[in-house]
Amino acid sequence: QVQLQESGPGLVKPSQTLSLTCSVSGGSISSGDDYWSWIRQHPGKGLEWIGYIYYSGSTYYNPSLRSRTIITVDTSKNQFSLKLRSVTVADTAVYYCASGRGAGDWFDPWGQGTLVTVSS
């Protein structure tokens, strides 16, 4: 059974870069069936899809965040990562990693999420 776990700093200063890693266990990130996504939830709000990466390295980002987002994959470590540049307090959220099968498909499983606070 595939499990995902997010890791990274819980506090980031404004204008800096938010960096998170998702470790995949119980399966290979290179299996070829899955697209590996990042999703976030602002405090008290709904969910926002950030983007995904395929094991080959191809990516697709939410147009609203595209200019600041980079998602990378490290198949040797069975991990994928998120970098969000020039953060503001509006980027404070719980960040989840999740596995999906492509645009419009469902996400399963998810990580338990990690809270990132942007504050000076």
Partner 1 sequence: QSVLTQPPSVSGAPGRRVIISCTGSSSNIGAAYDVHWYQHLPGTAPKLLIYGNTNRPSGVPDRFSGSKSGTSASLAITGLQAEDEADYYCQSYDSSLNVSVFGGGTKLTVL
Q: Under the rule (CB under 8 A), what is the footprint of partner 1?
A: 4, 45-49, 62-63, 96, 98, 100, 103-113
- By beta-carbon proximity to partner 1, the closer residue of 55 and 111 is 111
CB of 96 to partner 1, least distance (A): 7
Of 32, 4, 40, 30, residue with least CA distance to 117: 40
Phi-psi region of 114 (alpha: psi -120 to 50; beta: other; left: phi over 0): beta
CA torsion sign for 64, 68, 76, 94 is negative
- By beta-carbon proximity to partner 1, the closer residue of 8 and 16 is 8
CB of 27 to partner 1, least distance (A): 15
- By beta-carbon proximity to partner 1, the closer residue of 47 and 89 is 47
Cβ proximity of 112 and 95 under 8 Å: no
Cβ proximity of 36 and 52 under 8 Å: yes
The rounded distance, in Å, linking the Cα atoms of 3 and 25 is 5
CB of 103 to partner 1, least distance (A): 6
- By beta-carbon proximity to partner 1, the closer residue of 12 and 50 is 50
CB of 15 to partner 1, least distance (A): 26
